[in-house]
């Protein structure tokens, strides 16, 4: 186990961080707790490639993505990488390694220049032990993450590559729209392929199939969909949830 140290000299201090109470877990907490967290926090800008923590590091901090994108991944003993998630701004990470002696179950790396705020895990632990209503909020937060993971296992088991890609696109749109839809991929295609647990070739074939069968057009990072109905019908029939995915 290694201990993660936040060297303040590693990067430039960065003000203008995300207001903590915009993060769902902290929306309805005691203002004193928010103040405590803020005054113990440390915000920095990191370039693409910066490793925030490594799998097995002692978990003494948890983090909020202010801007940019963070990749959570695990590495096999053979050295292969499995991407667990790619996190956008507004997301909390590391908070699941809550208990003393816990180490991070995965590594976290910046994949698009990011502003990240670190908060001491000890404050989170104290609040859970002393504020039963926060403990319940934390449980709800963790259970929400667990439901998303169960859905991920389902998708990796039963959906084909085109359906998984279709699901990824539909989640970016999120609401049913009539008529053509234009959307922009949030990060590069290689990373999307890895996030979906696919080889690049599988990803290309999946995209080609969406183009051929469902009229999805791709121009660089821009995706045009003539009608969402066909994509929804093709994708969501292989899922246990109907579109749009209910907040669970």
Binding site for its own copies (CB under 8 A): 55, 74-78, 80, 82, 84, 96, 98-99, 105-106, 128-130, 132-133, 135-136, 138-140, 142-143, 145-147, 149-150, 152-154, 156-158, 197, 236-240, 242, 248
- Closest distance of CB 158 from its own copies, Å: 5
The neighbouring-strand residues paired with 45 are 115
- Shorter beta-carbon distance to its own copies: residue 83 or 181: 83
Helix extents (H) in 159-246: 161-173, 189-195, 200-214, 228-236
By C-alpha distance, which of 238, 178, 175, 191 is closest to 84? 191
Structure tokens at 78: 């053979």
Tokens of 116: 């990240």
Cα–Cα distance measured from residue 118 to residue 13, given in angstroms and rounded to the nearest whole number: 12
Q: Which is nearer to its own copies, 44 or 164 (CB)?
A: 164
Least CB distance from residue 240 to its own copies, whole Å?
4
Residues forming beta bridges with residue 140, ordered by sequence position? none
Of 199 and 222, nearer to its own copies (C-beta) is 199
Contact 106, 55 (CB under 8 A): yes
Q: Least distance in Å: CB of 76 to its own copies? A: 5
CA distance 245 to 240: 10
Question: By C-beta, is 45 or 152 nearer to its own copies?
Answer: 152
Which residue, 83 or 210, has its beta carbon nearer to its own copies?
A: 83
- Residue 70 CB, shortest distance to its own copies, in Å, is 16
141 token code pair: 């937060």
Least distance between its own copies and beta carbon 239 (Å): 6
Nearest CB to its own copies, comparing residues 72 and 225: 72
With a CB cutoff of 8 Å and minimum separation 6, the contacts of 62 are 92, 93, 94, 95, 97, 118, 119, 121, 124
* Torsion sign (Cα): 88, 94, 95, 97: positive
Q: How far is CA 82 from the centre of its chain?
A: 14
DSSP symbol at 84: E
In whole angstroms, how close is the CB of 235 to its own copies at the nearest point?
10
In angstroms, what is the minimal distance from the CB of 160 to its own copies? 12
């Amino acid at each position: 186990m290694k201990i993660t140290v936040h060297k303040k000299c590693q990067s430039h201090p960065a003000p203008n961080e995300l207001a903590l109470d915009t993060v769902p877990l902290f929306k309805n907490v005691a203002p004193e707790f928010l103040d405590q967290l803020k005054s113990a926090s440390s915000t920095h800008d990191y370039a693409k490639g910066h490793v925030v923590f490594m799998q097995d590091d002692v978990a003494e901090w948890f983090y909020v993505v202010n801007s940019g994108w963070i990749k959570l991944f695990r590495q096999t003993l053979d050295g292969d990488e499995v991407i667990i998630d790619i996190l956008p701004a507004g997301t909390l990470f590391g908070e699941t390694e809550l208990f003393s002696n816990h180490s991070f179950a995965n590594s976290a790396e910046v994949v698009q220049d990011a502003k990240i705020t670190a908060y001491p895990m000890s404050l989170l632990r104290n609040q859970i032990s002393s504020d039963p209503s926060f403990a319940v909020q934390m449980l709800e937060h963790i259970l929400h993450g667990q439901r998303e993971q169960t859905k991920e296992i389902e998708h990796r088991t039963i959906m084909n590559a085109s359906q998984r890609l279709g699901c990824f696109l539909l989640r970016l749109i999120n609401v049913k729209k009539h008529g053509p839809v234009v959307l922009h991929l949030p990060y590069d295609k290689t990373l999307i392929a890895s996030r979906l647990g696919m080889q690049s070739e599988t990803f290309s074939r999946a995209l080609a199939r969406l183009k051929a069968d469902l009229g999805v057009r791709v121009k660089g990072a821009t995706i045009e969909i003539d009608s969402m109905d066909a994509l929804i019908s093709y994708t969501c029939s292989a899922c246990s949830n109907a579109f749009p995915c209910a907040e669970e």
